[in-house]
Amino acid sequence: MCPTGVDNIQACHAGILLDDFSPADLDDLLGYLQPELRGHSRRVGVCASLIAGYADTNLKPGDSPHGISYAAIAYIGGCCHDIGKLLIDDTDYKQHPSLGSRLLTKHSQTLFDNDVVAQMVIDVVSCHHEAPNGSGFPLHLAASNIPYLASICTLADWLDHHLYAAENSDVATVLCSLAESTGVLVFESVIDCFWQVHKEILEKYSFWSLQNPSII
Ligand SMILES: [Fe+2]
Ligand SMILES: [Fe+2]
């Protein structure tokens, strides 16, 4: 129940969990996700890491924290991207990126060994619904302010919704739709990288679709 006097449901849910919630580590935190969302998040992490592994040359090498690859950070970001949904109900859907980033920021010392990695993951979470044409949410960022790894996560998220979650998804139709959204949904270069690894990603989806339930 919301405390008396709190009339903003979003703030109420976030306030209660942010104040009372103390995850032991990242695995513990992700364990709080419902199985379906946990499966979605892990698949997004795997896809994002495959794309980021190919996209390394598009990322500034100087930004890469020593000892951890962009692919690894993309995986962690994908696993965490919807963590803000722990804090809200469906009516507050568009705030989940901001709430997720607040949750990770509050517990970053516990969840991450490296401050740079922590910030990159938090940026993925807060920006995974932003779009280069400014139509994204919740911040409506311009393309120049969207982190590259976040754009990779956006694509991986979109793919999972269309290749796994959507009923009657036809791969050819999905890929055609993706090609048409170049520059709108994600950076054009991210889609270029996807095409380089798309066979590997589609193979994983044909494997995952045989798994039951949606946890990989
Ligand atoms: Fe999301
Ligand atoms: Fe998602």
Dist. CA 4 → ligand 2 center (Å): 32
CA of 195 to the centre of ligand 1 (A): 23
Residues by chain with Cβ below 5 Å of ion ligand 2: 82, 157
Beta bridge partners of 186: 182
- With respect to residue 4, please indicate whether it lies within any of the assigned structural domains: no
Cα of 202 vs its chain's centroid, Å? 19
- pLDDT tens digits along 169-184: 688 888 888 888 777 8
Distance, CA of 213 to CA of 210 (rounded, Å) = 9
> How far away, in angstroms, is 153 Cα from ligand 1 center?
10
123 Cα to the center of ligand 2, angstroms: 15
Q: Does some domain include residue 14? A: no
Q: Is residue 97 predicted with pLDDT exceeding 70?
A: yes
Domain assignment present for 170: yes
Q: How many CB atoms lie within 10 A of CB 72?
A: 17
Q: In this structure, what token pair is assigned to residue 26? A: 């990242």
In a domain, 214, yes or no: no
Chain-wide mean pLDDT for the chain?
Answer: 84
Q: Does the residue 204 lie in any domain? A: yes
pTM of the model: 0.87
Residue 123 and residue 98 in contact, taking contact as beta carbons nearer than 8 Å:
no
Which range, of 29-33, 70-74, 155-159, 165-169, averages the lowest pLDDT? Answer: 165-169
Mean pLDDT of the 27-42 span: 91
Q: CATH code at 42? A: 1.10.3210.10
Phi, psi of 31 (to 5 degrees): -65, -20
Which residues span the domain enclosing 181? Answer: 24-208
Q: Is the dihedral of CA 57, 111, 144, 159 positive or negative?
A: positive
Ligand closest to Cα of 100 equals 1
Contact status, residue 87 vs residue 3, Cβ threshold 8 Å: no
- Scored b (16 or more CB within 10 A) or e, 79-118 reads bbbbbbbbbbeeebeebbbbbbbbbbbebbeebbeeeebb
Distance 24 CA to ligand 2 centre (A): 23
Q: Is 213 contained in some domain?
A: no
Which strand (E) or helix (H) includes residue 189? helix 188-208
How far does residue 56's CA lie from ligand 1's centre (Å)? 24
**Predicted local confidence at residue 103, as pLDDT:** 92
Q: Which ligand is nearest to the CA of 78?
A: 2
Within a domain: 118: yes
Confidence of residue 20 (pLDDT cuts 50, 70, 90): confident
Dist. CA 81 → ligand 1 center (Å): 6
| Percentage with pLDDT > 90 across the chain | 53
125: in domain: yes
pLDDT at 197 over 80: yes
Which ligand minimizes its atom distance to the CA of 160? 2
- Does residue 201 register a pLDDT over 50? yes
pLDDT at 149 over 50: yes
* Ligand whose nearest atom lies closest to the CA of 38: 2
Range among 5-9, 42-46, 90-94, 171-175 with highest mean pLDDT value: 42-46
pLDDT higher than 60, residue 126:
yes
Ligand 1 geometric centre to CA of 96 (Å) = 7
Instruction: Please list, in sequence order, all residues whose beta carbon lies within 8 angstroms of the beta carbon of residue 121, skipping any fewer than 6 positions away.
Output: 73, 76, 77, 80, 104, 112
pLDDT at 130 over 90: yes
pLDDT of 3: 38
Name the domain count of the chain. 1
Identify the residue with better confidence: 96 or 68. Answer: 96
